[in-house]
């Protein structure tokens, strides 16, 4: 296009294509080197990659940001403006998907030969639109204007079968071979996206599969005049990669989901096996990491490929499979553990079901000594409690040489709960790999102001070695540094205030505490605890309007799963309570509550650097790790949180005086749960809690529908499974302690500095080094 007719979007595409062409040489080199040197490679299988925007990442990692900025400026184009037009690649729900994206960046930055495998969804996580606090889901058409980052590779397409039957063929030597005759075939077409490491160190590949019908058109049907039927097969096949399932933490047992899981697992395994010609030695050349149970069918599929298609004996195939695969668990919530009805599995994947039975038989066969019925039931691959279902976590566990938790606490709980009996049979299989985040995106790109100060104080080495951040501790009492940090934060807060005005239509005071809770909406994450405390604070300020209240802006954001009614009601409560506060003149300059719509990676990049306080208040024992907690602490926000997930380790690294911990511990939660009356008792003990709940329950924030929150509040007396009531008083006290701390800015900033200084260990580079050493058995610098 000529510059006179080019839109800003065209400039974006052009900028990406210019830089993209420089990536390709490096990219081809990396592919070739790995092939020639026969390096071991790692394959990260994940149904989610929540990468967000790619342009800033690629420009910054290649070191061409300033060159591009200047070049564009000379053409009259503002780089920041066009960067804001790039759509988020939002192919994930939350933490699990974002972790996969951070890992891809770290693997490239560490020079590891790595491939990500997933699905190229036409529609990523839905766009959240709020109408009077009610969430509506709108399709996220991220590919509408094309995607300059991806390369279609039709030459590498791969057929994936479904359904049909299994034939037993007896060979001349009497051996029985199984031949699966699928009733249906779908073609998996790969799309490759380059993943650029820091300083262009290495360019790896994210390969996402798109589903195509092998034959796009049934011409016979068309010629008969059946114009709809002629493309029906195509619609069915292509539905597989149409849309990401938006339920985080609670598997909706839908057939299409199982089809997605098998589709990408099968295509990925077959694709990677092409690269390693000797299947009997696959484990020496390939490490395959399963991101949760979503690709757990890899266990059965790899066995099928080795035994049925490559003719390898069962025992050897089982060794190769186990030595190749490893599995990361991300949750212990019982309702989130994936299981599939045997009947569905038999219909969709008949050969895999046979293999699963065989694996189970071998596993149960090898049990030694007398075992109780309960023990056998608990280690079986088949759950028989309500209909017969395949336990995908158990399948992934048995088929892996290492199974990891994502924080120290979560790993301990894995050993004690879901996998207790399996772990006793396979000691040493469960290991801990605490999550991390890429500092390139979450510090350097998201917070250039803070980064510049860190470079100035600690030297440019911090860009390459986060360990040097520890040097900041020596400056914790330096008033000049504190002032620079405060000014940088103030600029980020002003920018966020502007965004809040644009998107939520309300003005916030950048000099107030920015108190932030942003994450998926879930009962265990306890946004409700935050809202009840906000209601209590509202009442306290009303009761004593002339006291010197510390000004606070509570900022919340997050999506609710479309069918999760309670989560949607919590969003609505945030909206209603926020409005009530807004309408009350006595709250002005004291309290504000805003809920920002459509939380995503790009919004997180603007919120995190502007936060003073980070809310990490899940019911102890329920948040596997959390990674938002790390992003905030790295950027100098103080944390108020429970002893849950990675909060426990954050406390160890930043020091217990520099984090505000409150509430029941995981073992205390377990004990308290056994008292059926704990909720009612906690409310009776706390007049402040009772009053705040009454305000909400009686229509105090919803005068147009007084009963709107009745069931939500009553649930807290009857069955407060998430300990909102039990932790309320401790949370309130912790918050008031932070109010007092804010008044002593020197003390606040000493803590903030200690946070940034102590967070180096949470770099995903550290996490990936640990995976490489202990799980993948690959060399890394």
Active site residue 627: yes
Pairing mode of beta strands 203-212, 339-341: unpaired
Q: How far is the CB of 618 from ligand 26Q (least distance, A)?
A: 8
- Which residues are registered as beta bridge partners of 131? 134
Active site residue 631: yes
- Measure Cα distances from 778 to 44, 277, 284, 285, 372 in Å: 14, 19, 10, 10, 40
CA atoms within 13 A on the CB side of 114: 30
* Residue 528 binds to ligand 26Q (criterion: CB under 6 A): no
Interhelix angle 710-718/678-685, rounded to 10 degrees, is 100
Report the residue number, 534 or 616, with the smaller CB distance to ligand 26Q.
616
* Residue 249 binds to ligand 26Q (criterion: CB under 6 A): yes
Query: Are 18 and 57 spatial neighbours (Cβ–Cβ below 8 Å)?
Result: no
Report the residue number, 248 or 271, with the smaller CB distance to ligand 26Q.
248
* Residue 95 binds to ligand 26Q (criterion: CB under 6 A): yes
* Residue 627 binds to ligand 26Q (criterion: CB under 6 A): yes
Place of tokens 């984090």: 659
DSSP states along 136-155 = EEE---TTTT--TT-EE-GG
Token pair recorded at residue 736: 């008031």
Query: Are 186 and 211 spatial neighbours (Cβ–Cβ below 8 Å)?
Result: yes
Pairing mode of beta strands 49-52, 286-291: unpaired
Report the residue number, 92 or 197, with the smaller CB distance to ligand 26Q.
92
Pairing mode of beta strands 513-518, 613-616: parallel
Report the residue number, 251 or 350, with the smaller CB distance to ligand 26Q.
251
Active-site pick, 187, 193, 293, 627? 627
Report the residue number, 149 or 762, with the smaller CB distance to ligand 26Q.
762
* Residue 330 binds to ligand 26Q (criterion: CB under 6 A): yes
Active-site pick, 433, 519, 568, 653? 519
Of 41, 120, 212, 257, which one interacts with ligand 26Q (CB under 6 A)? 257
Active site residue 53: no
Token pair recorded at residue 484: 């620079």
Report the residue number, 193 or 625, with the smaller CB distance to ligand 26Q.
625
Q: What's the rounded Cα separation, in Å, for the pair 688 and 598? A: 33
Query: Are 584 and 541 spatial neighbours (Cβ–Cβ below 8 Å)?
Result: no
Piece in contact with ligand 26Q (CB under 6 A), picked from 231-239, 417-425, 617-625, 770-778:
617-625
Q: Residue 287, Cα to own-chain centre: how many angstroms? A: 22
Q: How far is the CB of 745 from ligand 26Q (least distance, A)?
A: 32
Of 16, 89, 91, 94, which one interacts with ligand 26Q (CB under 6 A)? 94
* Residue 625 binds to ligand 26Q (criterion: CB under 6 A): yes
Token pair recorded at residue 204: 């790896």
Report the residue number, 260 or 534, with the smaller CB distance to ligand 26Q.
260
Piece in contact with ligand 26Q (CB under 6 A), picked from 87-95, 161-169, 567-575, 762-770:
87-95
DSSP alpha helix (H) spans, 79-136: 79-83, 95-109
* Residue 633 binds to ligand 26Q (criterion: CB under 6 A): no
Q: How far is the CB of 130 from ligand 26Q (least distance, A)?
A: 22
Q: What's the rounded Cα separation, in Å, for the pair 738 and 151? A: 50
Q: How far is the CB of 631 from ligand 26Q (least distance, A)?
A: 11
Q: How far is the CB of 669 from ligand 26Q (least distance, A)?
A: 16
| Strand blocks (E) in 151-295 | 151-152, 158-162, 165-170, 176-181, 184-196, 203-212, 286-291
Q: What's the rounded Cα separation, in Å, for the pair 741 and 612? A: 12
Active site residue 519: yes
Residues 280-319 as x/- pattern, contact with ligand 26Q by CB under 6 A? ----------------------------------------
Of 135, 331, 434, 725, which one interacts with ligand 26Q (CB under 6 A)? 331
Token pair recorded at residue 685: 């003990």
Q: How far is the CB of 245 from ligand 26Q (least distance, A)?
A: 4
Report the residue number, 95 or 700, with the smaller CB distance to ligand 26Q.
95
What residues from 97 to 116 belong to the interface with ligand 26Q (CB under 6 A)?
99
Of 114, 195, 381, 406, which one interacts with ligand 26Q (CB under 6 A)? 406
State the CB neighbour count (10 A cutoff) for residue 776. 23
Report the residue number, 283 or 522, with the smaller CB distance to ligand 26Q.
522
| Coil, helix or strand at residue 369 | coil
Instruction: Tell me the backbone φ, ψ of residue 148, rounded to 5 degrees.
Output: -65, -10
Task: Choose among 475, 489, 487, 476: nearest CA to 446.
Answer: 489
* Residue 248 binds to ligand 26Q (criterion: CB under 6 A): yes
Report the residue number, 397 or 709, with the smaller CB distance to ligand 26Q.
397
Active-site pick, 53, 127, 322, 525? 525
Token pair recorded at residue 494: 């002003």
Q: What's the rounded Cα separation, in Å, for the pair 434 and 411? A: 9
| Strand blocks (E) in 541-605 | 552-557, 591-596
Piece in contact with ligand 26Q (CB under 6 A), picked from 82-90, 92-100, 419-427, 526-534:
92-100
| Coil, helix or strand at residue 640 | strand
DSSP alpha helix (H) spans, 38-94: 55-62, 65-74, 79-83
Residues 410-449 as x/- pattern, contact with ligand 26Q by CB under 6 A? -------------------------x--------------
Place of tokens 């045997």: 342
Piece in contact with ligand 26Q (CB under 6 A), picked from 1-9, 248-256, 662-670, 760-768:
248-256
Report the residue number, 15 or 331, with the smaller CB distance to ligand 26Q.
331
Piece in contact with ligand 26Q (CB under 6 A), picked from 167-175, 473-481, 552-560, 624-632:
624-632
Of 113, 645, 663, 758, which one interacts with ligand 26Q (CB under 6 A)? 645
Query: Are 736 and 640 spatial neighbours (Cβ–Cβ below 8 Å)?
Result: no
* Residue 338 binds to ligand 26Q (criterion: CB under 6 A): yes
Dihedral sign for Cα atoms in the order 600, 602, 603, 608: positive
Residues 354-373 as x/- pattern, contact with ligand 26Q by CB under 6 A? --------------------
Report the residue number, 331 or 360, with the smaller CB distance to ligand 26Q.
331
Task: Choose among 590, 592, 639: nearest CA to 611.
Answer: 639
Piece in contact with ligand 26Q (CB under 6 A), picked from 277-285, 497-505, 623-631, 709-717:
623-631
Query: Are 466 and 760 spatial neighbours (Cβ–Cβ below 8 Å)?
Result: yes
| Coil, helix or strand at residue 171 | coil
| Coil, helix or strand at residue 759 | coil
What residues from 188 to 247 belong to the interface with ligand 26Q (CB under 6 A)?
245, 247
Report the residue number, 511 or 563, with the smaller CB distance to ligand 26Q.
563
Q: How far is the CB of 640 from ligand 26Q (least distance, A)?
A: 17
What residues from 506 to 525 belong to the interface with ligand 26Q (CB under 6 A)?
none
Of 3, 24, 252, 364, which one interacts with ligand 26Q (CB under 6 A)? 252
Piece in contact with ligand 26Q (CB under 6 A), picked from 69-77, 88-96, 458-466, 732-740:
88-96
Token pair recorded at residue 476: 């914790």
3-state helix, strand, coil in the chain (%, to 5): 55, 15, 30
Q: How far is the CB of 202 from ligand 26Q (least distance, A)?
A: 24
By CB under 6 A, how many residues form the interface with ligand 26Q?
24
| Coil, helix or strand at residue 131 | strand
Active site residue 283: no
Q: How far is the CB of 331 from ligand 26Q (least distance, A)?
A: 6
Residues within the interface to ligand 26Q (CB under 6 A)? 93-96, 99, 245, 247-249, 251-252, 257, 330-331, 336, 338, 406, 435, 623-627, 645
Active site residues: 330, 519-520, 525, 627, 631
């Amino acid at each position: 296009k000529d510059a006179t007719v080019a839109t800003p979007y065209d400039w974006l595409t052009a900028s990406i294509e210019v830089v993209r062409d420089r990536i390709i040489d490096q990219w081809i080199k990396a592919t070739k080197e790995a092939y020639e040197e026969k390096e071991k490679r790692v394959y990260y299988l994940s149904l989610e990659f929540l990468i967000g925007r790619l342009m800033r990442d690629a420009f910054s990692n290649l070191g061409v940001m300033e060159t591009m900025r200047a070049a564009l400026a000379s053409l009259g184009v503002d780089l920041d403006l066009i960067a804001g037009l790039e759509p988020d690649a939002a192919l994930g729900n939350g933490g699990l998907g974002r972790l996969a994206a951070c890992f891809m960046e770290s693997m490239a930055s560490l020079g590891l030969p790595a491939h990500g495998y997933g699905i190229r969804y036409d529609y990523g996580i839905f766009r959240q639109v709020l109408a009077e606090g009610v969430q509506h889901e709108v399709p996220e058409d991220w590919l509408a204007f094309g995607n300059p980052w991806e390369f279609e590779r039709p030459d590498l397409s791969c057929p994936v079968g479904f359904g049909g039957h299994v034939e037993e063929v007896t060979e001349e030597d009497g051996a029985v071979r199984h031949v699966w005759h699928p009733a249906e075939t779908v073609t998996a077409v790969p799309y490759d996206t380059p993943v650029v490491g820091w300083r262009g160190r290495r360019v790896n590949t994210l390969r996402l599969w798109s589903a195509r019908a092998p034959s796009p058109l049934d011409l016979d049907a068309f010629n008969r005049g059946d114009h709809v039927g002629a493309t029906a097969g195509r619609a069915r096949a292509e539905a597989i990669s149409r849309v990401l399932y938006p339920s985080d933490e609670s598997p909706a047992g839908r057939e299409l989901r199982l089809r997605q899981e098998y589709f990408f697992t099968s295509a990925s395994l077959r694709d990677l096996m092409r690269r390693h010609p000797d299947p009997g030695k696959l484990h020496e050349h390939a490490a395959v990491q399963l991101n949760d149970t979503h690709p757990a069918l890899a266990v059965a599929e790899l066995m099928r490929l080795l035994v049925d298609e490559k003719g390898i004996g069962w025992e050897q195939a089982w060794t190769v499979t186990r030595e190749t695969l490893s599995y990361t668990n991300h949750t212990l919530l019982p309702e989130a553990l994936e299981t599939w009805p045997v009947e569905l599995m038999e219909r969709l994947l008949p050969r895999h079901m046979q293999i699963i039975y065989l694996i189970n038989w071998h596993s149960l066969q090898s049990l030694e000594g007398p075992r109780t019925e309960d023990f056998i039931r608990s280690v079986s691959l088949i759950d028989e409690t309500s209909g017969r279902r395949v336990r995908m976590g158990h399948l992934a566990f048995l088929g892996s040489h290492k199974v990891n938790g994502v924080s120290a606490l979560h790993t301990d709980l894995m050993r004690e709960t879901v996998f207790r009996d399996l772990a006793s049979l396979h000691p040493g299989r469960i290991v801990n790999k605490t999550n991390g985040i890429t500092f390139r995106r979450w510090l350097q790109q998201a917070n250039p102001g803070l980064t510049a100060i860190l470079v100035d104080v600690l030297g440019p080495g911090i860009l390459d070695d986060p360990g040097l951040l520890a040097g900041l501790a020596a400056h914790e009492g330096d008033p000049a540094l504190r002032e620079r940090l405060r000014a940088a934060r103030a600029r980020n807060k002003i920018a966020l205030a502007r965004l809040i005005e644009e998107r939520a239509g309300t003005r916030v005071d950048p000099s107030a505490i920015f108190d932030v809770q942003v994450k998926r909406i879930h009962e265990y994450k306890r946004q409700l605890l935050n809202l009840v405390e906000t209601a209590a604070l509202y009442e306290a300020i009303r009761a004593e309007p002339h006291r010197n209240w510390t000004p606070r802006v509570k900022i919340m954001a997050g999506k609710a799963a479309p069918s999760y009614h309670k989560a949607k009601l919590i969003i609505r409560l945030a909206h209603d309570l926020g409005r009530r506060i807004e309408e009350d003149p006595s709250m002005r300059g004291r309290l504000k509550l805003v809920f920002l719509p459509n939380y995503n990676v790009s919004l997180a990049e603007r919120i995190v650097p502007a936060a003073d306080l980070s809310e990490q208040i899940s019911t102890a024992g329920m948040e596997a790790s959390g990674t938002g907690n790390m992003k905030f602490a790295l950027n100098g926000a103080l944390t108020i949180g429970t002893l849950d997930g990675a909060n426990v380790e954050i406390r160890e690294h930043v020091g217990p005086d520099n984090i505000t911990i409150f509430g029941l511990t995981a073992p205390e939660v377990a004990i308290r749960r056994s008292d059926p009356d704990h909720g009612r008792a906690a409310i009776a003990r706390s007049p402040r809690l009772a009053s705040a709940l009454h305000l909400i329950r009686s229509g105090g924030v919803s005068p147009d529908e007084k009963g709107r929150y009745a069931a939500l509040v009553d649930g807290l007396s009857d069955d407060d499974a998430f300990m909102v009531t039990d932790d309320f008083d401790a949370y309130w006290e912790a918050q008031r302690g932070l109010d007092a701390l804010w008044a002593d800015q020197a003390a606040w900033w000493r803590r903030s500095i200690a946070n940034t200084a102590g967070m180096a260990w949470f770099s995903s580079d550290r996490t990936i080094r640990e995976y490489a050493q202990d799980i993948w058995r690959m060399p890394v610098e």
